Structure 1
């Protein structure tokens, strides 16, 4: 029985650990927190998982919350009209539409999911080590395992994986991030029965995403501001009090997106840990890390491909990476997990991840005219809205109609005559 060490208990690490466990591997999982500490701690993300990623969980039989979490059937895009927040009611939307998803999406607070998965891993006989690992710890442990994987995307361990400049066009954060989990938010009055992720764009300022989720206290909504650094949304760095964080979030909604603010008259935080703020530079790293002793470790998910969350791909990419690595590990049989295999395992995942990175980096930049034409036409032609929405599940499709002006124009012409 091959022995595998996984460091980091997020979406990718736990999904991979449970998958390997199911295949008969002897798995040790290192986490810097217990399940109870995760469950009672601060929110970690704004996860919204689309159908392909959810299917990876179904395939492993670990979709424990699927019947409880809201079923997200659509993805809406609203664009504030220029200067609309300065008008008498500030309600003008230059663009407003909803695309329908072919398969529903879901969001489960990672405090719920990771705590539950960690307990399941231990109940199934997995070796769970509660310890914050440093490089020196890995150097000690790695020689005792056939393969060591690093899925902890922050801290010292990430420094083992060098930045791939050819795949990382940004060297600084492109957005300032601020998250609030709330109860009491009302539905969009124009679509009261449709659960949807709402993408609200304020040109030159930033974006607000609103999504239904399942949290520790039941159904909730996530309010997620992405502000252009140095702009009017970049005000959360000094906010430490959760209630002040929510009040700031709502005040910015009132100023820039009053149609969303109108739903929040009864909004209140789900819990004291229901806020999060930060920023990071989107980065692709080399997948193989070298330990001081010469041992090798393989980076997983956002350790090696960290995209800005503007396209909502973090947990989706983590699930897809775990599924891809699981296949590569099982196919390896008894052969050594050497550097060539590690690079090949990453390259296989990159075939999917490259589309996420390209799309995300494109969405961080001001949109070119042909993209504005697509987003505008989606308000008039439902198949365009639906295709854009389903690109969140399969970003590779954007290659066919989104990036290149000629392809975009040909696509629009094919639908408009």
Structure 2
């Protein structure tokens, strides 16, 4: 069977460092940190008092107050970034076969804020079950693609991928496979997350997963730095329009890049810790390369998972070293989580956008907040520390790994006829 080619025709982003794709990209290449003290709740009793929050997002202005109240923030974010992507792709759904356009959307947790608020309200009451009728449909993770399909009248495949921090990479891979197998013409794909609340920060604090650098939030996300002490929680959404090539050409779409492969694997090791030898991470990168029909020597840039945790960063670099061999010295590696924080289920989509724009602009965004070399890492590896680097980027790979041992990796290349 000959696979159909799949291209990227639209992008949308709502991130802690920019509420549109141009703002996000400009912040990335200028090394802007999105971390600051949390404004959305009182952190006095919390070990971590900062995060990478979305800024200046007005759900009431975007959706209207009545509709905004019916949606958890993770759905609000999804609709916002998707609107940008739909406009960017120049889509007029009245002229397209909407039965062949689907939505596959990732979220690691879903409506955590809604769940927290409803349970707190119940606990404060007299035991009478007075729950908001929108409680369940606001909370469930699959409601985001549901709302996107309702808004645009899209009747193709519609579901949510839930694989922790690999969720939106999985959504991209599923969308890619449906299109290249001829089962759809287009997908709105990506992910969203909104966990910066008492339950989210408190829960990750209890796991000792978050940085506690409260005296200097802007430099707290330090992937590959000797003094890294945990990840910084982020929130937001990323939307990518994936489209069959001939369908895109027929409607005169602009094309950002071509998606050429995706891989998935499991660590089968521990519910939160990565495999100590980076086994699952190596397997998933190899699987993506094989799916794309290329070798490691063809990759120019890897947007790594790179969360800034003491054990996660070394395992990923060990895996990359195993996969790339001496080619590791030729490629650029960078972790954009140093700027956005960790968007969990939205991370894959937001970071895939960074990889796509690196291809388009021949610029690799940096890994900021590097102060002290860690002897665990080969100093000859180009981690793109602190400053963006110009170079030709023909093919880029982006990794996402999640609690439960879920791994997903995607590959994009410059589009050629």
Q: TM-score by structure 1 length?
A: 0.26
| Larger strand percent | 1
Larger Rg: 1
